[in-house]
Amino acid sequence: MLRRSALALGVALAVTTAFGAPGAARGQLPIFDAHIHYSRPDWDAYTPERALSILARAGVHRALVSSTPDDGTLELYRRAPKAIVPFLRPYRTSEDRHDGWTRNPQVAAHVEQRLQRGVHRGIGEIHLSVDEAGDPVVRRIAALAAEGGLFVQVHVDQTALERLLTLYPKVRLLWAHAGMSASAETVGRLLDRHPMLWVELALRSDVADGARLDPVWRALFLKHPDRFLVGTDTFTTSRWESVAASVAAVQAWLTDLPRAVAEQIAFKNGDRLFPPP
């Protein structure tokens, strides 16, 4: 089972040059999923083989994965290193996220220790408020990211994002959920002003009504085709059952874009930013 799952994702990886992934014959694109978690509650419900199989069958040829704790990410990466892009979530447990992690030196030490493995391509997903943007652990994460050429995936609102972009202009930021509720106009203005910003669209159901894109979002994708990625977000265990449906919804609205633009957003941007090992 393990070999079949890893093989399925390995085969899907070849889609970047020849559309051989599941669904490609129906005109679908391979998907680089920029927002997957495989955290501790998921482990009992889904073995690593099962999780990898779910991604492969949904047409996800590569996935950006972060988990609480980090061991879940590393387990998927160990089994499918060409298909998993490991990010380091700073939270050692779920309590860290809600217990002043931005000022906890033990969290900073944890991040430094885990990064010494040399496999992580970024740090995050992290959650913080505008008032926490300059806290010691956030400053340390930004310094480590700048030194190592790593992305930082941030789940923040527009105000906190702008603060981060001002404080850490050398850090490449991946804005989770496009800010969750930020308008297309706001996203576009920030992209125009900040070349170190990229945006992923997990859970942004307002982008399209079925296969028809919102006109403002569509214009933004045409203007900045190299700055967007898509995602699923398995933030809770039950979300693993929604991966296929989430990918199918993305596939639907990608058809409303020129093929070259659709390919960039679907998988080429992810593959360019995070080349396979």
Residue 174 lies in a domain: yes
**What six digits make up the tokens of 139?**
């400053």
Residue 154 lies in a domain: yes
Residue type, 20: G
Strand partners of residue 174: 153, 198
Which of helix, strand or coil describes residue 153? strand
The CATH number given to whatever domain includes residue 78 is: 3.20.20.140
Residue 24 lies in a domain: no
Which of helix, strand or coil describes residue 2? helix
Number of folded domains that form the chain = 1
Strand partners of residue 124: 153
Rounded to a whole number, what is the distance in angstroms from the first to the last CA of the chain?
23
Structural domain range at position 170:
2-14+31-273
Which residue is it, tokens 């989770």?
A: 176
Cα separation of 132 and 155, whole Å?
13
Residue 250 lies in a domain: yes
Residue 52 lies in a domain: yes
DSSP state at residue 62: E
Residue 26 lies in a domain: no
Strand partners of residue 213: 208
Helix axes 184-193, 158-167, angle to 10 degrees: 0
**Cα separations in angstroms, 198 against 17, 76, 120, 154, 270:** 24, 25, 18, 10, 10
Residue 21 lies in a domain: no
Q: What is the pLDDT along the chain (277 residues), one digit of tens a residue?
A: 334 444 445 444 433 332 234 444 357 999 999 999 999 999 999 999 999 999 999 999 999 999 999 999 999 999 999 999 999 999 999 999 888 999 999 999 999 999 999 999 999 999 999 999 999 999 999 999 999 999 999 999 999 999 999 999 999 999 999 999 999 999 999 999 999 999 999 999 999 999 999 999 999 999 999 999 999 999 999 999 999 999 999 999 999 999 999 999 999 999 999 999 8
Which pTM does this prediction carry? 0.91
